A and B are shown apart, each in its own frame.
Chain A
């Protein structure tokens, strides 16, 4: 097995603020990993590093065996088209239909003109494929519905379908369930984990729900102040570690004054 991500002393700063602090870790292809940690611990930043839209200030990062620092614009773009990302806010075009949004998943592999044509007259084959994907994520009847008319949970499914249509080797999802109720959140996370096993892509998800992370992911990575404080199977995560992971420091505590 080769590695999906290799991080070696990766540091990422925004001005004076160190968002990711000397992180070294390796994620193998086909793994399911959940990033956990309190708000501001650097989960989103880590995901942005992994999908190459942020670049480390220090250390080396390679994605699917390609060192990020040496990539040209074009090869970086091609690399990105092999890594799927579901951003926290989904990034759907609200006034396009579900099928139009899903078909954009393959835009990185197609030319600009082809993408415009895809929006206007999707090919027969793509339409069938997208219909199957929507069926798989459970909103088959919404194929031609405008996304702005869908519920939060349904939009999430469109975003998942878009990522699946891309046929990525890795799927990164940033807090995919922050906007839905607990039952639906569980359903979505289970779906992602299932799909990852079924289709064989690497899955990295950042999650606020510890329970869900423990239930569906064989490997958890705990972040705090941009550092990895825990890395291992869920049953190794002790209560004490959990407490220190999430405890409020004095300056984070809301005071009456």
Chain B
């Protein structure tokens, strides 16, 4: 009896891929912790604590630090907002919005070709007539090709691309928009592709059965049916774009990141204010997008 249990235990399905993955991750973590210098490496704990206290003191707005009265913070905040804070906010939002729309516009026409179902020679397994061999080769390869392009695009770290593009195009908004658009092109491609693949198959099959072409089927059946879910992902990515646009400014453009980078080292209080400003905008964007997504669900 007991042997039978052992036999069953031995013969149960084992997944080597999962096991090896788990092992690799474990080794990676061990290695990361064992080979890193401890946090308190060269400086003593005490020294770092002092550093930290100094630093924390510097975060308090300078007029308040001098007079000790928080009422002085109001005009100071107004001045900072006026000096560039608001303009920076505006640019940040604009960059994020332009970028996400640009990538959406580029992804949409590719979805028909990228869909695992629609792009095949026989979409949804429907016989679609004899093809010239070249067309069937094209149809078999194009889906995987575009999906790989999505993978490449989303592997691109937007900050590094923006950095490289700025040196070529000069200090202007395009590099930021492009960098964000490329990365999100890949991500939207995958998310939207999954939506299209998981949606109901009956309407598109019916469409194809009525002699509609693939693109017409996509535009008239899949796109409207999946519209809400596509929008949900669109807003989710917009929200992340706002966050990324903020830091891209650290490369020297008038988004909040620039103001943060400029005040760093000399005006910690200003820097901290801009950080909080950015974070509150992101919180608002987060709420807005959550609200929209709830409504669409």
Contact = CB atoms under 8 A, between A and B. Distances in A.
B5 A141 contact: no
The 7 closest A-B pairs by CB, nearest first: A144-B12, A143-B8, A131-B5, A144-B8, A127-B5, A144-B9, A128-B2
A145 B12 contact: yes
A147 to B, nearest CB: 13
Nearest to B11: A144
B23 to A, nearest CB: 18
Contacts of A140: 4
Contacts of B1: 128, 131-132
B4 A131 contact: yes
B153 to A, nearest CB: 32
Q: Which of B1, B8, B9, B12 has the most CB of A within 10 A?
A: B8
Interface string B1-22: 1101100110011000000000
Contact of B5 (A97, A143, A145, A146): A143
Interface in B120-138: none
A135 to B, nearest CB: 9
B35 to A, nearest CB: 30
A145 B4 contact: no
A80 B12 CA distance: 34
Nearest to A149: B13
A132 B5 CA distance: 10
B17 to A, nearest CB: 15
Contacts of B4: 131, 140
7 contacts: A128-B1, A128-B5, A131-B5, A132-B1, A140-B4, A143-B5, A143-B9
Contacts of A144: 8-9, 12-13
A97 B13 CA distance: 11
Contacts of A145: 12-13
Which among B4, B5, B13 has the highest number of chain A CB atoms within 10 Å? B5
Interface in A122-142: 127-128, 131-132, 140-141
Interface in A90-109: 97
A116 to B, nearest CB: 19
Contacts of B5: 127-128, 131, 143
Contacts of A131: 1, 4-5, 8
Interface in A23-50: none
Interface string B127-161: 00000000000000000000000000000000000
Given A141-B8, A143-B5, A143-B8, 14 more contacts: A97-B12, A128-B1, A128-B5, A131-B1, A131-B4, A131-B5, A132-B1, A140-B4, A143-B9, A144-B8, A144-B13, A145-B12, A145-B13, A146-B13
Nearest to B2: A128
B88 to A, nearest CB: 47
A39 to B, nearest CB: 27
A141 B8 CA distance: 7
Contacts of B2: 128
A132 B8 CA distance: 13
Interface in A147-199: none
A128 B3 CA distance: 10
A120 to B, nearest CB: 14
B159 to A, nearest CB: 37
Nearest to A143: B8
Nearest to B12: A144
A127 B8 CA distance: 11
B238 to A, nearest CB: 33
A140 B8 CA distance: 9
B6 to A, nearest CB: 10
A114 B99 CA distance: 52
B119 to A, nearest CB: 30
A154 B94 CA distance: 57
Nearest to B6: A127
A140 B5 CA distance: 9
Interface in B61-108: none
Nearest to A142: B8
A145 B11 CA distance: 10
A245 B9 CA distance: 50
B249 to A, nearest CB: 44
Contacts of A132: 1
Contacts of B8: 131, 141, 143-144
Contacts of A143: 5, 8-9
A23 B1 CA distance: 48
A123 to B, nearest CB: 12
A211 to B, nearest CB: 36
A141 B5 CA distance: 9
A145 B8 CA distance: 10
From A140, A141, A144, A146, residue with most partner B Cβ within 10 Å: A144
Contacts of B12: 97, 144-145
A141 B2 CA distance: 13
A149 B5 CA distance: 19
